[in-house]
Amino acid sequence: MKIPTTKIIRIILLMALATAALAVTIPVFLTDRFTIRGGSMLPTLHDGQHVFVNKLLMGARIYTKYDFSDPVMESFRMPGLKNVRPGDIVIFNYPYPDSTGKIHFRINYVYAKRCIGRSGDTVGIRNGYYYNSSLPATVIGAERYQRWLSRRPDSVLKADTVLRFEAAVLPDGTVWTIKDYGPLYIPGAGDTIRLTENNIFLYGRLIEYETGDMPDADSVSCHTFRSNYCFLAGDNVLNSMDSRYIGMIPEDYIVGIVCGI
């Protein structure tokens, strides 16, 4: 039986529409592929390696504004299966894509790092090893690389590390290094923190992100956070620009959790 030409054309058009719909739906709601650039996640992820993000886990991030030249991201997240957890590797929008020093959004400027802690956790580094108050007996990340860091004398680290040995110098003179860092509490939505000269240094950019203004301890006594945050770091502890240097990352900036490694 001969199929009418109009029916064949209709079938082809329906198949094309279905293919186009899947091409849009899958990367937005289900999974998307990203390419790793650089060596900050060695030995887990390598330069040029392709990874997939499972957007069903945290829930897909849906934009409500499509003017991506605006540095303010407007979006909501679909219901997910779980929150990001310490140990998860995530793809996220790097919050400092230019020299302004302010957290802002750029759509295709993404990094891959491991979650060391999320809102409610206290994190830090003890003799080169990451720790998290919620997982006191767990090494998070590449233990072999952290062992290398632990065993290298400070003098060698200061001379040879690709990045800075000193991660943060607090206003009171306290020095946090990539071997001895914290403790640092990661705030979440609803947390109220009394501000001091030291913790304004640690939380100031987050408060500026939420309010539009950098706080001053002389005029602002406390802040109630509106968003959740994460401490993200590369497995290559000697060569990774991450939360040790730039501070905590808004959880809203996380695209999703890497799967299938």
Contacts of 68 (CB under 8 A, 6+ apart): 105, 106, 107
Reported confidence tier of residue 4, pLDDT bands at 50, 70, 90:
low
Q: What does pTM read for this prediction?
A: 0.88
Interior/surface letters 237-256, b for 16+ CB within 10 angstroms, e for the rest: bbebbbbbeebbbbbbbbbb
Cα–Cα distances (Å) from 207 to 195, 213, 224, in that order, read 11, 7, 9
Q: What angle do CA 100, 173, 104 make, to 5 degrees?
A: 20
End-to-end CA distance of the chain: 51
Task: Name the least confident of 24-28, 68-72, 95-99, 126-130.
Answer: 24-28
Q: Alpha-carbon distance 256 to 175, whole Å?
A: 33
Q: Alpha-carbon distance 207 to 42, whole Å?
A: 32
Q: Are strands 110-118 and 89-93 parallel, antiparallel or unpaired?
A: antiparallel
Q: Alpha-carbon distance 114 to 131, whole Å?
A: 13
DSSP state letter for 234: -
**Greater pLDDT, 46 or 65:** 46
Q: Alpha-carbon distance 17 to 172, whole Å?
A: 62
Which residue reads 């590390």 in tokens? 161
The answer to whether the Cα torsion of 104, 106, 111, 113 is positive or negative is positive
Q: Of 180, 178, 210, 179, which is closest to residue 193 (Cα–Cα)?
A: 210
Q: What is the pLDDT of residues 184-222, one digit of tens each?
A: 999 999 999 999 989 999 999 999 999 999 988 777 789
The answer to whether the Cα torsion of 97, 119, 67, 36 is positive or negative is positive
Q: What is the pLDDT of residues 138-193, one digit of tens each?
A: 899 999 999 999 999 999 998 888 888 999 999 999 999 999 999 999 999 999 99
Contacts of 112 (CB under 8 A, 6+ apart): 34, 36, 40, 41, 45, 51, 89, 90, 91, 258
Q: Alpha-carbon distance 201 to 247, whole Å?
A: 10
pLDDT at 5: 63
Q: Contact, 184 vs 124, CB < 8 A?
A: yes
